[in-house]
Amino acid sequence: MSRVLFKICAWQNSAKPWIYLIFVCALLIIIAHYFFQEYLFMAPCEQCVYIRLAFFVIFFGAILGTICGGNLLLKFCAYGVCFVGALYGIARSIHLYKVHSAILEKLPFGVHGCSFKPNFPLNLPLDEWFASFFKPTGDCGLDAPIVPLGTSLDSIQSFFVDLYSNGWYLIPGAKFGTMAECMILAFGVILAVLFVMMSAQIYAMFSKKI
């Protein structure tokens, strides 16, 4: 067991896991914004932009982890930033899941879903600074494409617009895996991997002292 932890510690001391995390977050942000939002006309809701922010936070935390080298203070700052991003993302994804469930069960009363004026941490006006990424223009739970009138779609656009006409699902044809469920899973996996990495680092530190 100790050998495995030391191997994980050595791995997390390299830039490789942090680069993987940067790539995953960047890829998900790019797909959400440029493919679903811009190409397929799926307007992001309030909870969606919060989830997007969570990936940006993890992204910047991972950059810090990549450049920290052997500096333990910066390393644990990187972990802290990533943990905050992952936990925030899980919280917002769970909220979105509750909204989705209420809408599907036709019991929307008592569930606060969306506002077109988001309330970001530290009151940062991200929806004004980076409106394209952080300005909510859609309703929670209504995540199907809304094509503007008069828009001419190419054949690929038409295919995907039809595919997601009943909402965003990991497997649209089977209506399996809502966006909220997939985001809970994604943030949960990131959180678990980070926890194992940090635990290995702490174990190695205490083992050397003993």
Percent of the chain with pLDDT over 70: 92
pLDDT recorded at residue 106 = 61
pLDDT band at 76 (very low <50, low <70, confident <90, very high): very high
Question: Average of pLDDT values for 86-114?
Answer: 78
| Average pLDDT of span 195-210 | 79
> What is the reported pLDDT for 108?
55
Q: Is 72 exposed, middle or buried (0-12, 13-18, 19+ CB in 10 A)?
A: exposed
Determine the pLDDT at residue 143. 82
Q: What is the pLDDT of residue 161?
A: 92
Residue holding tokens 């909510």? 136
The pLDDT of 163-188, averaged and rounded, is 91
Position with higher pLDDT, 70 vs 52: 52
**Maximum average pLDDT range among 47-61, 101-115, 195-209:** 47-61
CATH number listed for the domain at residues 2-141+154-209:
1.20.1550.10
**Of 142 and 86, which is predicted with more confidence?**
86
- Inter-residue contact 61 to 17 (CB < 8 Å): no
Q: What is the mean pLDDT of the chain?
A: 88
In the chain, what are the domain boundaries? 2-141+154-209
Residue 194 has a pLDDT of: 95
DSSP characters over 40-62: S-----HHHHHHHHHHHHHHHHH
Is the model's pLDDT at 81 over the cut of 90?
A: yes
Percent of the chain with pLDDT over 90: 55
Weakest mean pLDDT among 17-21, 67-71, 75-79, 104-108: 104-108
Confidence bin at 59 (pLDDT 50/70/90): very high
Q: SS3 letters for 64-112? A: HHHHCCCCHHHHHHHHHHHHHHHHHHHHHHHHHHHHHHHHHCCCCCCCC
Whether 210 shows a pLDDT value over 70: the answer reads no
